[in-house]
Amino acid sequence: MNTIKSVIYAVFVMLVALFSSCSGNSSQKSAVHAEKEAKVYDVDELLTVSSSLVGDTVRVSGVCTHICQHGGKKLFLMGSDDNHTLRVEADGKIGQFKPDVVNSIVVVSGVLEEERIDEAYLNAWEEELAAEAQEHGNPGEGGCATEKKARNEEATSSTDERIAKFRERIALRNAEEGKNYLSFYHVVATNYEVQ
């Protein structure tokens, strides 16, 4: 009888230990998740770790340098200099960004997304330009100067020059890293506040 009591007691102790470790583990995961969402990245830091955070909700702070005039649905945050710029797009709830946030420090919460430019992307872009030229006689330049700056492009480049430069950059990245595409990151904002 004492043996049965000992076995039951041992099983009880193991179950208590198991449930304690499981609940502690979820608490640890919740704490890590809360800490991750509470962290506010500066633009430079977020751009450095962006590939590991794609699809995650992040918070980022920077100086708003520009809001696109075509609907006010994009703003750009600058990091340590204008070579470190992050595009932020408004989700459906925000609608559009208020013009008075330009030149202010803005903290944005939203999902970090990656846009890849590869050969298929460039071919589709060329086809779109050819169709547009045939229909209208003059293809557009595809993006404002601030958007070009965020992608490290020359603001005065023609569309054909932009596509050629993208191909050069893709070839260089493929040679150096084995990746035949360029990655550009942006945040789809669910909330923002001016500091």
Does the pLDDT value for residue 131 go beyond 70? yes
pLDDT digits (tens, 9 = 90+) for 18-36: 444 444 444 444 444 444 5
Confidence at residue 117, expressed as pLDDT on a 0 to 100 scale:
95
Mean pLDDT of all residues in 117-122: 94
Q: Using alpha carbons only, how large is the chain's radius of gyration in Å?
A: 24
Q: How many CA atoms lie within 13 A of 84 on its CB side?
A: 15
DSSP state at residue 53: T
Higher pLDDT, 44 or 5: 44
pTM score over 0.85: no
Spatial neighbors of 88 by CB under 8 A, at least 6 apart, are: 60, 74, 75, 76, 77, 97, 108, 110, 186, 187, 188, 189, 192
